[in-house]
Amino acid sequence: MNYNLLLEQTFLGNTFRAYLLCVGILLSGFIFKRLFATLVSKQTFRIFKKFSQDKYSEVFILLLRNPFEQLFILIVIYYAFNTLNFPTEWNLASAEIFGFRWLIEATFTIAVIVVICKLLLKTTDFVSYVFNHNEDEKINKGLVAFSKELIKVILVIIAFFAVLDFAFKVNILALFAGLGIGGLAIALAAQDTIANLFGSFVIYLDKPFQVGDQVQVGEVNGVVESVGFRTTKVRTLDRSLLTVPNKKMVDSALNNISRSSERRVLFHLHLTYQTSSSDILKVIHEIKLILKNHPEINDEITVNFSDIESSSLKLLITYFVNTNVYEKMIEIKETINLQILQIVEKNNCAFAYPTQTVFLEKES
Q: Is residue 363 part of a domain?
A: no
Asked whether the predicted pLDDT for residue 348 surpasses 90, the reply is no
Residues 29 and 69 in one domain: yes
Summarize the confidence of residues 256-285 as an average pLDDT.
90
How far is Cα 4 from Cα 358, in angstroms, rounded to an integer?
119
Read off the CATH number of the domain in which 242 is found. Answer: 2.30.30.60
Give residue 168's pLDDT.
84
Q: Based on the domain organization, do 149 and 215 belong to the same domain?
A: no
pLDDT band (50, 70, 90) for residue 3: low
Residue-wise pLDDT for 229-241, tens only, equals: 788 999 998 889 9
Give residue-wise pLDDT tens across range 87-143: 776 666 666 677 777 888 899 999 999 999 999 999 999 999 998 888 776 677 777
176 shares its domain with 278: no
For residue 4, the model assigns a pLDDT of 67
pLDDT band at 159 (very low <50, low <70, confident <90, very high): very high
Average pLDDT score over the chain: 85
CA distance 77 to 80: 5
Answer whether residue 203 is part of any domain. Answer: no
Residue 79 host element (H or E)? helix 57-81
User: Quick one: 274 and 255 in the same domain?
Assistant: no
For 137, residues 6+ apart whose C-beta sits below 8 A from its C-beta are: none
In this structure, the answer to whether residues 251 and 145 fall within a common structural domain is no
**Sequence-distant (≥ 6) Cβ neighbours of residue 162 within 8 angstroms:** 113
> What average pLDDT score do residues 257-277 get?
89
Residue 359 lies in a domain: no
- Total domains in the fold of the chain: 3
Segments forming the whole domain that contains residue 245: 209-259
Q: Are residues 146 and 215 in the same domain?
A: no
